[in-house]
A and B are shown apart, each in its own frame.
Chain A
């Protein structure tokens, strides 16, 4: 869990700002092009990709940068999506307002979970968060009056911003939301808080000695990651406009974790590339789609054996070679 190192030099810092802006601009341009000119299938892929990227980057944040092996990600994603849907469908809240409410709900929930969780490390944290995730799925599936139960929720209202947002328009919204998230994510990484988070991961004792509140920092990392998952849930809910308890399935968390692994744990550039690759590539590998899940298992093993540092590690090596 400690594959990335903290960089604190000022000149490297400016370089990073430049890199971030370059990535953001590139993704914005390509994303908008896809949203405007793609057919409905490509737009769906784009929106799914935006949602998945937010999820993998935030999972990478809590596992890689904050060093906490949390398996509750799918639960926060699902709660964010369901809260948004129930608010707008059952309570008539405008979808745009459902966003801040859903974020607050999940932030609160993750704080409640995160406070005891911050005491745990390694397996205990993983198993505790996994149990929490499964329990949430069971509760959602068995509460038909609130959540539609096993049927799920259909016909969720459209997002409305001076007009109904669907199709290409939604693609644009998804790209913009993602880029804003991406900028906030990178900004957080470079900030003092971001460095405190990685410092606590690397050496809690030294951080405490330096005056950082270890518990609070870990909790913050946990909560911010969960809140991002809720954002992804909101984005997902108003595009697909149909939800199902399977959204909470713990399997999702493992699949996102796999994408993070392929990208390189704690290495956001790799994670972005890895997610894009894994999300888009299966569409072109016709032969593999017959046994999708089996392929995923094989890829997990292969990635672990042959590329444990992931794409991030690969990029690092190339960058190092180019410098020398």
Chain B
């Protein structure tokens, strides 16, 4: 029994951190610019897919990771420059911006199918695809350790960035009061650019966490993308840690359900939990610290 619980926590934390990081990428953009960017999952996909392509072309592995992350982040920033910024400057309503980003999601996803093909390819993890076994009831893929480590590092890193750097604080101020931010001289355009870039970067990193566990293919951004913002709203927008809380809660609950109940219930669980959260605790699981 204890072994089962440990296994559930290990698996749940792996899935949860992936959800949490995607939730964080949504959070960064949403809080700084009030835009819910549906295309976030696709940057993750681009990082994984370009990673697979670059590996196949013979590039040294560390360079592959770096280059694919750069490509995905660049695309994210390009989308902001070419599409979001002109829309914001024209005073387009939020609905229009969101629909445009939904269009970006479609274009990125389906043109990848044209260039990369419709087949999924395996993506090799930084430390291989071995699975460590403890006894016969606890199984830990090496990639999970990568997920834990990189996940923790990213959360801490982003938090430090938001608190202690000039750019980061600009993001936080814009989140609290965009007009006031402008008054004290913060350039909202630049803030938004940084937000999209950071969100894209986080997403791209997830590509190397999730890709080796699943596959690299044009459709892989769909489900994690949705689970990402579900996790965000479960955890709440009070702080970046809300993304982690929501992600972990979602991941662990899903795995628990799959482990102890007939797994047919697992699919709708995320949405069901979100609805419960909205009904009983709409601001999310994490309480807002009054500071």
Contact = CB atoms under 8 A, between A and B. Distances in A.
State if A and B touch, Cβ cutoff 8 Å: yes
Interface of A: 1-3, 63, 69, 116, 119-120, 122-124, 126-128, 131-132, 134-135, 138-139, 142, 254, 257-258, 261, 265, 291, 293-294, 296-301, 303-305, 308
B107 interface: yes
Contact of A304 (B96, B105, B264, B268): B96
Interface in B56-114: 83, 86-87, 90, 92-100, 102-107, 110-111, 114
Contacts of B278: 116, 120, 124, 128, 131
Interface of B: 30, 36, 83, 86-87, 90, 92-100, 102-107, 110-111, 114, 226, 229-230, 233, 264, 267-268, 271-272, 274-275, 278-279, 282
Residue of B86, B100, B264 ringed by the most chain A CB atoms within 10 A: B100
A304 B94 contact: no
Contacts of A63: 95
Contact of A308 (B93, B102, B103, B226): B93
Q: Chain B interface secondary structure, helix, strand, loop or mixed?
A: helix
B109 to A, nearest CB: 8
A289 B259 CA distance: 44
**A-B residue pairs, 3 tightest by C-beta:** A297-B106, A300-B103, A304-B100
Contact of B92 (A127, A139, A142, A308): A308
B271 A134 contact: yes
B88 to A, nearest CB: 11
Contact of A261 (B83, B94, B95): B95
B285 to A, nearest CB: 15
A122 B278 CA distance: 14
Contacts of B83: 301, 304-305
Contacts of A291: 110, 114
A308 B90 contact: yes
A303 B99 CA distance: 9
Contacts, number: 109
Contacts of B92: 304, 308
A1 B104 CA distance: 20
A304 B103 contact: yes
A301 B104 CA distance: 7
A183 to B, nearest CB: 27
Contacts of A2: 93
B42 to A, nearest CB: 11
Contact of A297 (B95, B104, B275): B104
A89 B120 CA distance: 41
Nearest to B279: A116
B87 A308 contact: yes
Contact of A293 (B36, B106, B274): B106
A324 to B, nearest CB: 24
B93 A293 contact: no
A116 B271 CA distance: 16
B107 A301 contact: yes
Given A294-B111, A305-B87, A123 B36 contact: yes
A230 to B, nearest CB: 21
Contacts of A305: 83, 86-87, 100
Given A123-B36, A308-B87, A261 B96 contact: yes
A127 B106 contact: no
B93 A128 contact: no
Given A124-B282, A296-B106, A305-B87, A131 B100 contact: no
A142 B94 CA distance: 35
Nearest to A294: B110
Contacts of B99: 254, 257-258, 261, 300, 303-304
Contacts of A126: 36, 98
Nearest to B105: A297
B184 to A, nearest CB: 26
A157 B226 CA distance: 37
A259 to B, nearest CB: 11
B97 A304 contact: yes
A131 B95 contact: no
Nearest to B90: A308
A261 B86 CA distance: 17
Contacts of A124: 233, 278, 282
Nearest to A296: B106
B233 A127 contact: yes
